[in-house]
Amino acid sequence: MSSLTKNPNVNKWVEEMIALTKPDKVVWVDGSEKQLDEFRAEAIATGEMIKLNEEKLPGCLYHRTLPNDVARVEDRTFICSRSKDDAGPTNNWCDPKEMYAKLTPMYDGVMKGRTMYVIPYSMGPIGSPLAKVGVELTDSIYVVLNMAIMTRMGADAFKNLGDTSNDFVRGLHSKANVDPENRYIVHFPEDNTIWSINSAYGGNVLLGKKCFALRIASYQGKNEGWMAEHMLILGLEKPNGEIKYITAAFPSACGKTNLAMLIPPEGYTKKGYKVWTVGDDIAWLKQGEDGRLYAINPENGFFGVAPGTNAHSNYNALASTRKNTIFTNVAINNDDMTVWWEKLDNNPPVNATEWKGEKVNGPEYIAAGNKLAHPNSRFTAPAINCPCISSEFNNPAGVPISAIIFGGRRAKTAPLVYQSFNWQHGTFVGSIMASETTAAATGAVGVVRRDPMAMLPFCGYHMGDYWAHWLEMGKKLGDKAPKIFNVNWFRTDDEGNFVWPGFGDNMRVLDWIIDRCEDKVDAVETAIGYEPKPEDINIEGLDGFTTETIADLLTVDKDLWKEETKGIHEFYAKFGDKLPKELEGELEALEKRLG
């Protein structure tokens, strides 16, 4: 098939990559439903995807990855800037020449006997001044079908690029032999290039997502004066119809999709409050002509965590997955070819296939201590399926942001919510974020680690320079800057149970946050920031909750925080003279306030 673009930069690069990988066949992905149907039929015929129940889950497909390939691999992810110092202490680095030399032989002839798909895509609404174009070459139909949901994919993306521009991200992916020992997810920020090999899972291979929209884009944003962040975007509609937009950065599997789609408690919905979803994972933020900060969601779908998603916890996410969705590594109910995962409901299928592909009796299998779905199993659902998708989802200008929220999983230290004193202090609050690790990346789960702005695995350059860029953005935004907050839905009691009910009830905290943005409510000044007066968190309809419970969730344990500052010092020490002095100053000021 001939090229879909006249752009010589694209065509030259594609030809070079064909010469390197030597596919039997090259297919340019035009984005048409007809062509996608052919891909689906082929994927089903080869067994790569399984067709699910057409009545109950129309247009839905199932895919299983190898047990060694179920999450992002941070230890095999590299930022190959020319200078090691530009990758910084939080990224794996290798000299780009060395890395190209190492990987080129691995790609040589890797697509022999296979088809190469050439995927043009836009991150961001086509025609948006904030959108950017990528081209992914892959030998995986699974990747093509996921990219069709997650991005604006097809010939239209080339329209956005034009016939001469060289401003597109070159993504080369091969699943090769899915060999974990030779798995590499490599970024060359100065070349606008991503090479991924030996994986066929999610964030490792859907190169528009974490690789482009965060790692490469964060680097582009620093150079071009905007920001790429691991943030959801939501619109909170008040009874008078006014909508305020909020972004929130939580680490992987810490609640972004859930917050983005929340349904407020009854007391709020009755009054007319509503939450609209603009994005659930990534935000690109740029100052608008009016001086405010605007956000677009570069993605076109949701790659969401399946376990824990149910009609009660996240009705809108579940509803989003009821058609034209791809399920990866969940369990199958063989009686009716539907899907199941932990906490979907209390009825695990008896006639089940667990995520690795073994036929099992679901209830017995679970009783023996096993999981039917992998903890990082996912759904890939089109954004248009979401019942609460924002009318601004495709707005090329994005939405104006009133508040930025940071948060993570902390059993004790962080209170339910606090507000930073100002943008600089807010940048400090983001930089000291810490969270318990989750199944979204390979490695130990439940270990507290520093994860600044939820960007530890996703910042494509030196984290010290990234913080400096945050401070710079704050100066540009001035008094139009969004207010910065920190939340923690995950405080536990002495038995290890979550105290805060979370999910829809997080609305109660958003309510206070918006009131703060509008100067409608006072706050208490503490050592770490402004906190609500306990009585200002609305607990109407929260069974068993009193103002004392809230007060408890808001306590700042000075001894724990003093311990915390030691950890921050250690962490900050890694950044040497790239640590902005403003942040060092904020740490000293915090220590003084703690006494």
Per CB under 5 A, residues contacting Mn ion are 252, 281
Which residue number, 210 or 425, has a Cβ lying nearer to ligand SPV?
210
CB of 202 to ligand SPV, least distance (A): 3
For residue 274, give the 3-state DSSP assignment: strand
Of 172, 182, 166, residue with least CA distance to 135: 172
Give per-residue burial for 319-333: e unless 16+ CB within 10 Å, then b: bbbeebbbbbbbbbb
Residues 253-312 that bind ligand GTP (CB under 6 A): 253-258, 280-281, 304-305, 307-308
Residue 492 DSSP symbol? B
Of 15, 302, 295, 286, residue with least CA distance to 135: 15
Q: How far separated are the first and last CA of the chain, in Å rounded? A: 70
Of 71, 144, 151, residue with least CA distance to 329: 71
**How far apart are alpha carbons 449 and 83 in whole angstroms?**
26
CB of 544 to ligand SPV, least distance (A): 33
Which residue number, 273 or 490, has a Cβ lying nearer to ligand GTP?
490
**How far apart are alpha carbons 23 and 64 in whole angstroms?**
24
CB of 262 to ligand GTP, least distance (A): 8
CB of 373 to ligand SPV, least distance (A): 15
The verdict on 81 binding ligand GTP (CB under 6 A) reads no
Tokens 């939340």 correspond to 487
**How far apart are alpha carbons 367 and 358 in whole angstroms?**
16
Residues 237-256 that bind ligand SPV (CB under 6 A): 252
The verdict on 407 binding ligand SPV (CB under 6 A) reads no
Tell me the DSSP string of 14-29. Answer: HHHHHHHH--SEEEE-
Among Mn ion, ligand SPV, ligand GTP, none, what does residue 210 contact (CB within 5–8 Å per kind)? Answer: ligand SPV
Count of positions on this chain that bind ligand GTP (CB under 6 A) = 22
Q: Extract the tokens encoding 201.
A: 């899972």
Of 207, 225, 203, residue with least CA distance to 216: 207
Binding string, residues 104-133; x marks residues near ligand SPV by CB under 6 A: ------------------------------
Count of positions on this chain that bind ligand SPV (CB under 6 A) = 9
Among Mn ion, ligand GTP, ligand SPV, none, what does residue 188 contact (CB within 5–8 Å per kind)? Answer: none
For ligand GTP, which residue has the nearest CB? Answer: 502
Which residue number, 315 or 458, has a Cβ lying nearer to Mn ion?
458
The verdict on 581 binding ligand GTP (CB under 6 A) reads no
Active site residue 254: yes
* Phi, psi (deg, nearest 5) at residue 432: -100, 10
State which amino acid sits at residue 266: E
Tokens 């022999």 correspond to 112
**How far apart are alpha carbons 361 and 367 in whole angstroms?**
10
Candidate ranges 28-36, 86-94, 183-191, 202-210; the one touching ligand SPV (CB under 6 A):
202-210
Residue among 503, 571, 572, 575 that touches ligand GTP (CB under 6 A): 503
Among Mn ion, ligand SPV, ligand GTP, none, what does residue 250 contact (CB within 5–8 Å per kind)? Answer: ligand GTP
Sign of CA dihedral 485, 486, 489, 492: negative
Residues 430-469 that bind ligand GTP (CB under 6 A): 440
Catalytic residue list? 254
Using CB under 6 A, list all residues that contact ligand GTP: 250, 252-258, 280-281, 304-305, 307-308, 313, 440, 489-490, 498, 502-503, 506
Q: By the criterion CB under 6 A, which residues form the site for ligand SPV?
A: 72, 202-203, 209-210, 252, 281, 303, 440
